[in-house]
Amino acid sequence: MVDSEQLKKLSTTKNLSRNAYFNQAIAQLLKRSDVKYADRDFTFCPIRPSDINKKSLLQASNLVLISHASQWDEFNGPGGVFLESSPGAFDGAWAITLGYANPPVVLTNFEAINSNADLNPNLLSPGWSFVKNNTDTSDPKEDHGTHTAGTIAATGSISGIAGMGPLLKVLPIEVEITASGIETAIYWAMGRTVYGVPHNNYPAKVISMSFRNTLEVGCPVSLQEAIDTFINDNNGTITVSAGNDDEPASNNPPRSCSNVFVVAATQIDGYRAEYSNYGPRVTLAAPGGEQPNGDACESGGILSTVSTNTGCQNSGFSFYQGTSMATPHVAGIAGLIYALNPNISAQEVKNILLESVMPFGSTADPQRSCKGIKSCGIGIVNANNAVQLAISGRTIIAAPSPTDLALQSSYDPFNRCPLNKYVPTVQSIASPITSKWMINKSTRACQILEVYENPTLQVNGQQLKVIYGKTVLTLQTPGLTCQVNNAHGFIC
């Protein structure tokens, strides 16, 4: 890293705007033979749920059942992920795994986490605070991280309120939410050496992030390198929230980075949550809840852990809403897959998650529908389908998602698409086998999002074909006998 004093020495031109000043400094740095790349550091903002109505937390009218029965997001329904069909049924994903593995499957959400008796047994110690530079990863003023950690791995042993994997483990890492801070935390999370920080004895397989930066465009080279290292060298999975602005998920990091799952939010009926971002950058959706009144006891939200003696009825639990609540559902289900097969590759996990989604709830309201102009990706993540595929012993090959296709409003500056139409810009796409998906360049076309959500799948001998309207992708599968498994992919 280069501090501001060094930048002043490197930049010789005076009276530049701030952006021009940084750009010139970066350009000069890139001329040096000892510099691999140079990126501007910048600050992220946490993606928070709506403000909670504190006055109503203890009102009798808001008394709700604080129990597993209120976790609609975990059951089998239009908006749930099917861990089980009803409390205690153990007939969904939990019939196969609760997340136990030895060594344990480790996840992290890059946020401060506070004490809660239903979460503490699954918190690994010591974690690390890059904010305080010590092992204290709590923050009494903030429960966002405690809530998302509970969605991943609350035990349910006291209250019955459980996360995606009651036997998964969470490594608390409080990060400096700058680009460089997140990059450093990614390397430390996977067990790499970070100067001045104790070695991490619990390398993570899954990272769940709920940050945004609205100023930077694209993904900085250094951040993309950290993400790719975590995924490729660690066989890891990274999930990021789409945002809560009811607008197209923008080209800002980390959701603009390649190889991450960008997660939209749905509500109890499987419709798009009214606040959720949408569009071609979204990979898939998960339950994020919906609370019109912003009430911590409003049961349309996602019920999870907060600090002891706080939250709804001072129970230590609250209902929150947000794509931040949706994202750890995907992370936790990825954790269940790793628990079943610790040696599974990142590509295999990705393809299982993509192929196992369930359809969105059906509504004629285009503002609430996850199909069409406010697309939430390919479907709602489903834990039962995912773990069934994970134990099938078969090769799972998902059709490339809209985010895999790198959809843009133009393929080059001279060929722009009409409004609300997009063209694939990718050249090839990795698969869980050695072959790559190849796009037939002559078939690139500007098309509406719905075309990319509903591909036609074909098997031609040892070649798979996915047709998105006019656009065709093929994958060679030598030595494999494959068949169409569902609307989202193949099984071989």
pLDDT score, position 55: 42
Percent of the chain with pLDDT strictly greater than 90: 77
Which of 132-146, 156-170, 207-221 is predicted least confidently? 207-221
Is residue 435 predicted with pLDDT exceeding 80? yes
Q: What is the pLDDT of residue 23?
A: 64
Q: What is the pLDDT of residue 56?
A: 45
What average pLDDT does range 286-304 have in this prediction?
A: 93
Confidence of residue 265 (pLDDT cuts 50, 70, 90): very high
Q: Please name the residue that has the structure tokens 């700058």.
A: 178
The pLDDT score that the predictor gives to residue 38 is 60
Tell me the average pLDDT across 155-179: 94
Question: What per-residue confidence (pLDDT) applies to 53?
Answer: 46
Minimum mean pLDDT among 16-20, 171-175, 345-349: which range? Answer: 16-20
Q: What is the mean pLDDT of residues 344-350?
A: 98
Residue 357 has pLDDT above 80, yes or no: yes
Confidence of residue 213 (pLDDT cuts 50, 70, 90): confident
Residue 118: HSE in the Cβ half-sphere, 13 Å Cα cutoff:
32
Q: Is the pLDDT of residue 134 over 80?
A: yes
Q: Which CATH class is domain 45-393?
A: alpha beta
pLDDT digits (tens, 9 = 90+) for 176-186: 888 889 999 99
Can you say how many angstroms the Cα of residue 318 is from the centroid of all Cα atoms in its chain?
22
pLDDT, one tens digit per residue, over 360-388 is: 999 999 999 999 889 999 999 999 999 99
Q: How confident is the model at residue 293 (pLDDT cuts 50, 70, 90)?
A: confident
Say yes or no to pLDDT of 136 above 80. Answer: yes
Q: In this model, does residue 54 exceed pLDDT 50?
A: no
Tokens of 38: 């140079």
Mean pLDDT along residues 31-42: 60
- What value does the mean pLDDT take over residues 157-173? 95
Domain limits, the chain: 1-38, 45-393, 397-491
**pLDDT tens digit string along 111-120?**
999 999 999 9
The pLDDT of residue 338 is above 90: yes
Q: How high is the pLDDT of residue 21?
A: 57
Q: What is the pLDDT of residue 91?
A: 94
Question: Mean pLDDT across the stretch 254-271?
Answer: 96
Mean pLDDT over all residues of the chain? 89
Residue range 297-322, pLDDT digits in tens: 999 999 999 999 999 999 999 999 99
pLDDT score, position 57? 44
